Amino acid sequence: MSSSAAVIGVDSSTQSTKAVVVEVGSGRVLASGRAAHTVTGSGGARESDPEQWWRALVGAVGEALGRWGRTAGGGGTAGVAGIAVAGQQHGLVVLDGAGRPLRPALLWNDTRSAPQAAALTRELGVDGWLARAGSAPVASMTAAKWRWLVEHEPRVAEAAAGVRLPHDYLTERLSGTAATDPGDASGTLWYSTADHGYDPRLLEVAGLERGLLPEVAPSGGARVGSLTAAAAAELGLPAGVAVAAGTGDNMAAAVGLGLGGAGLLDHPVVSLGTSGTVFAATRTRPAVAALAGFAAADGQGVYLPLGCTLNCTLAVDRVAELLGLGREDAEPGGEAVLLPYLDGERTPDLPAAAGLLTGLRHATSGRQVLGAAYEGAVFTVLRALEALPGGVAADAPLRLTGGGARGRMWVETVRRLSGRPVVLPRGAELVALGAAALAAGASGAGDPVAVAVGWGFGEGRALDPLPRDERTWQRIETVLRGYAERLGG
């Protein structure tokens, strides 16, 4: 492969699709594009039309290629060697025999499946799920959503000829091949991280036939095919471009940061986006209820233990909107505590929760209330750090990513509540960059994590630790404990 060859990485997230064109040899981002998504639903429902994801992918890639072509010395599409998609995890896409969606996709933050998650837990017990899947059922997981569909829309479930994750659906639209990867598959609850494949017992409990599922590629960077003539025509690319298996968004972010078998292990990452996540790549197979015990995308016996919250930047922005403040018009919350669980919560597992505000005084300002929302969101994410495997050192720096990493108040709140040094990686769109590294792997450039390490997007500005604000931490901990007891969590 020529060092000047380019690859395309796609991040199909909850709210939008981002695409980057990256030069394989240097890691230089040649161009980028973006297109928005629409999420619908109320009362716990969160849905999107998968066809909209495809249109957004075509739009974002087209915008990126157009910008690349207009740059000085901009390349032609003949120089594109590969493409990969990283997508929001857990979403349930059901297809008819022609590959068309039978209904809108149920998204990861759709909490209607909480009763089904509880029922799944009872059938195998928490320990049984952890031993096989590496994760315990919560409403976010795909198996709970499938069970919800079977119970509430049985005709749709019976008509399903295919069951896909969001990134699987898009990969199949690109290549014509039904394929997934170990990383994203490990978030379904029907893939075993112990046996590295679909588990017949888990499929039986989920009530799902194996024939409805795509094959699992060895890794997210494995080539599963080439662009079909139809997809190539829509994207304006040659039909021979390699298509990688792709992966879930969190796994792709880990690749983009250079985490995995050929890169960094046991380095914690905090990602602040619509959801908040904390994770690390490790060779220790996780099996604790507080974490999702995912596999990594690189297929080298690496795992990605991850804690995920439903309410992060979007929830805090909503509080700012209610207060009539800008997102940076905040200061530490003082005595106020705000748990911004506007969509219920996944970690801790409180799907019936709502936002909670307490501790107001006459002297409490709106800026403090907004600051308390930041504190509640950051506390909830950081609390999951304690459950990461023992190889993650207590004083290891946090790599801070996601949209929140570009916000002053987010960064300072993480520093104050964690007491850790913080690294702000230079890569701005790490999910898309990780997908680009997977595309490079599929097109012959070698191990995707090693490629990403060479690109260096995981390195960046280092910030010294601040003294940990134990008083604020304990105040939020006390409020959350009482709230969880009232909700029965």
pLDDT in tens, 277-316: 999 999 989 888 889 999 999 888 899 999 989 999 999 9
Q: In 3D, which of 296, 69, 48 has the Cα closest to residue 169? A: 48
Q: Are 373 and 322 in contact (CB under 8 A)?
A: no
On whether the pTM is more than 0.85, the answer is yes
- Annotate 290-349 with DSSP letters as a single string: TSEEEEPTT-SS-EEEEEEES-SHHHHHHHHHHHT--TT-----TT-EEE--BTBBTTTT
CA dihedral sign of residues 157, 162, 168, 170? negative
- Annotate 197-247 with DSSP letters as a single string: EE-HHHHHHHT--GGGSPEE-SSTTSEEEE--HHHHHHHT--TT-EEE--E
**CA of 46: how far to CAs of 39, 104, 357, in Å?**
6, 9, 25
Of 249, 317, 349, 469, which one is the catalytic site residue? 249
pLDDT for position 2: 63
Contacts of 385 (CB under 8 A, 6+ apart): 268, 270, 278, 307, 392, 418
Q: Which two tokens stand for residue 246?
A: 């792709």
Measure the CA–CA gap between 433 and 10, rounded to whole angstroms.
8
Measured CA angle at 353 (ends 349, 357), to 5 deg: 125
pLDDT for position 114: 94
Q: Where are the alpha helices (DSSP H) in 294-341?
A: 313-323
Measure the CA–CA gap between 312 and 144, rounded to whole angstroms.
23
| More confident position, 286 or 209 | 209
pLDDT for position 78: 82
Q: What is the mean pLDDT of residues 417-431?
A: 93
1 pLDDT above the threshold of 70: no
Active site residue 249: yes
pLDDT 10s digits, 372-410: 999 999 999 999 888 887 666 677 899 999 889 999 999
Q: Domain locations in the chain?
A: 6-262
Domain boundaries 6-262, CATH class: alpha beta
pLDDT for position 346: 85
